[in-house]
């Protein structure tokens, strides 16, 4: 089974429609970029718990 894709070269006609997988890939890329800009990607170091013994 083969999947047909839009040509890479720009055309004078209307833009090719994106498939669901292409849209998901674009959304994932944009979410990663937004998380990177917001300081995401690295989890903060866990804090040590101070234990008080009575």
7 vs 16: CA distance, rounded Å: 9
38 vs 45: CA distance, rounded Å: 17
14 vs 26: CA distance, rounded Å: 20
Query: Would you state the pLDDT for residue 25?
Result: 92
Count other Cβ atoms within 10 Å, centred on residue 4: 5
Tokens for 17, please give them.
Answer: 């429609």
CB 18 within 8 A of CB 26: yes
Whether pLDDT at 3 is above 60:
no
Q: pLDDT tens digit string along 18-39?
A: 788 889 999 999 998 998 888 7
């Amino acid at each position: 089974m083969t999947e047909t894709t839009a040509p890479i070269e720009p055309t004078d006609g209307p833009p090719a429609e994106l498939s669901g997988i292409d849209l998901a890939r674009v959304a994932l890329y944009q979410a990663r970029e937004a998380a990177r800009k917001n300081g995401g990607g690295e989890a903060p170091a866990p804090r040590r718990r101070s234990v008080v013994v009575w």
